[in-house]
Each structure stands twice: as C-alpha cells, then as structure tokens.
Amino acid sequence: MSFRIIVDSCCDLSAQMKNDPCFIKVPLTIRSNGSVFVDDDTFDQADLLWSMKQSESAPSTACPSPQNYLDAYRNGAEDIYVVTLSALLSGSHNCAEQARVLLEEDNPELNIHVFNSCSASSGEVLVAMKIRELASTGMPFKKVVREVEQFIFQMQTMFVLDSLENLRKNGRLTRLQAVVTGALKIKLLMGATSEGEIYKIGQALSIKQALSKLVDRIAADPNHVGRTVAICHCNCLDRAFLVKQQIEAKCRVGQIHILEAGGITSVYANDGGVVVAY
C-alpha cells in the first residue's frame, strides 16, 4: 500500500526528511509587526526574529485552511497519515479534520487518520518518524494508527526559553512576572501535558542550569531508555549540541536528532529556545 505523511509546518523536519517524498508539509502563516511570513521554504528566521523583537504586540499565527489540507491529501496515496501540532495550541488540527471529512465523502475507499500530536516541533517530528517506520514495513493502516496513538500517549516534550517576551506579549505571563523573571534572569523549564497543554515544570538562574534540569528529568524517567530524542533549536545550535552531549553522558537513549526551528516553532520558542521530545 502506498502512503503519505502530511504534517503542518510546526513539524520541524530535518533536511533529509524534507527530501523524502513520503512527507508533505502544509504551511501556517505568521503576522508580526505588520509583516506576513509563510512558514514554507521561503521562510527567513532572522527576519521573523527581528520583527518580533521590534514589535510591542505578540505575533499571531494562522493555520492552514481545510482546502489547503485537502489539496495535500489528494496525492495519489492509498493510506494518508496526518500529524498536527497540539489541538490546544492551534486550529490546525481542527482544519485537518474538516478536510478529512470532505475527502472521505468523495473517496470512501481511502484510509486517512489525523493525529493530534499533543505536542509541537520536535514532538511532531518523532510522531512523523514513527509513522514512516511502521508504514514502511507494510503494517496494516489500522494497526499503524493504534501503535502511533500509543506512541503519542507515551511521548514527553519539554522546552527551555531564553526569552519570555512572547509569553508576556500574548498574556501567558503577566508583565510583573516578566519583569521579575527578567530582572533575576530566571529561565523557565516548560513542558506539555498528555493533552498537549503547556505548563511550567521549574526554573533556573541560567540557561545552562535549565537545560541541565531538562536532561536530568529525562535521565530520571525509567521509560527513556532506548528512545529516540529530537532536539529542536531556535538560532542556538551550540545549545542543542550541549543538550545532546549531556543526554549522551547521562541517559541511555537511542538516536538523537538535532533540528532547526521553522517559523511556528520560532514564534513559540523565540530566539534561543530549545525544544526536546523523546
């Protein structure tokens, strides 16, 4: 059976994955300081980071339309798997589901399933990789869906922010909290719940301490052994390699992938942010 994996643009595919024809990316768009950025191959991260820094208001994002997804679904494959960022963070998942309903009305013989990654960025990449791993073996569609849904339930996502400005601008952090944490140079260690909602795990007095705490949490998780790890960075490759080295020293994971943030991840993580999923 032929298959395709449709992902929204918060899924920060590696260069190798982008060249794999089984992956099709559907872009979101970003508005910042009067400019519009399409999160596709034309995206310029430096321009977006500068625009966000200059703006007093938070950047806004727009998810793909159902028609955008429907166009991606019509690719000739018999099995279609779709991966979106957390339904609690974006309307991308809902639009993908609307497109699924439309497709099934006209093509009831096709197999299609939309996965809510309950994550973003690195987490979405791991889900997409898991689908490719299983589907490539010829595993039946319904079994792939069951296996991947279980994988999503067990997956963990954490991130460390260097800048809290976007959290302050979009109301997730009060101005007083932002001033206090900024003055004390506090760095937040954040995570995603099993439902895909963002929450605070802890804090540290430096970015290195926060990243070290992140790695320590992985090491303390008895279920981390053998798992694939994805590390996505926003304009801070050195930090990504630091995390990789610490994971290799303290944990017993499998492969470790380092990824570059696209537009949507750059909005969430901001300059210097690191997102880790396993």
Q: Can you say whether residue 35 is alpha, beta or left, with left for phi > 0 and alpha for psi between -120 and 50 degrees? A: beta
Q: Residues 110, 187: one domain?
A: no
Kindly report, residue by residue over 34-46, the tens digit of the pLDDT. 999 999 999 999 9
Provide, rounded to the nearest whole percent, the portion of the chain with pLDDT above 70.
Answer: 93
CATH number, residue 173: 3.30.1180.10
The CATH code of the domain that includes 118 is 3.40.50.10440
Residues 8 and 141 reside in one and the same domain? yes
Task: Give this prediction's pTM.
Answer: 0.94
Across the chain, mean pLDDT equals 93
Give the contacts of 115 (CB within 8 A, at least 6 positions apart).
81, 82, 83, 84, 127, 131, 148, 149, 152
* Enclosing domain of residue 18: 3-28+63-154
Return the number of other C-beta atoms located less than 10 Å from residue 59's C-beta.
Answer: 23
Residue ending a domain, among 154, 170, 197, is 154
pLDDT at 56: 86
Last residue of a domain, one of 154, 173, 196: 154
| Residue 54 counted as domain residue | no
Q: Are residues 126 and 248 in the same domain?
A: no
pLDDT band at 198 (very low <50, low <70, confident <90, very high): confident
> Which pLDDT band, with edges at 50, 70 and 90, does 58 fall under?
confident
What's the number of domains the chain is made of? Answer: 2
- Asked if residue 190 and residue 111 are part of one domain, the reply reads no
Q: How far apart are CA 149 and CA 263, in angstroms?
A: 26
Q: In angstroms, rounded to a whole number, what is the distance separating the alpha carbons of residues 152 and 192?
A: 12
Please determine, for residue 243, whether its predicted confidence score (pLDDT) is greater than 80: yes
Please give the average per-residue pLDDT across 155-184, as a whole number.
Answer: 68
Residues 112 and 177 in one domain: no
Phi and psi at 255, nearest 5°, equal -70, 150
Do 127 and 194 reside in the same domain of the chain? Answer: no
Q: Check whether 248 has a pLDDT greater than 60.
A: yes
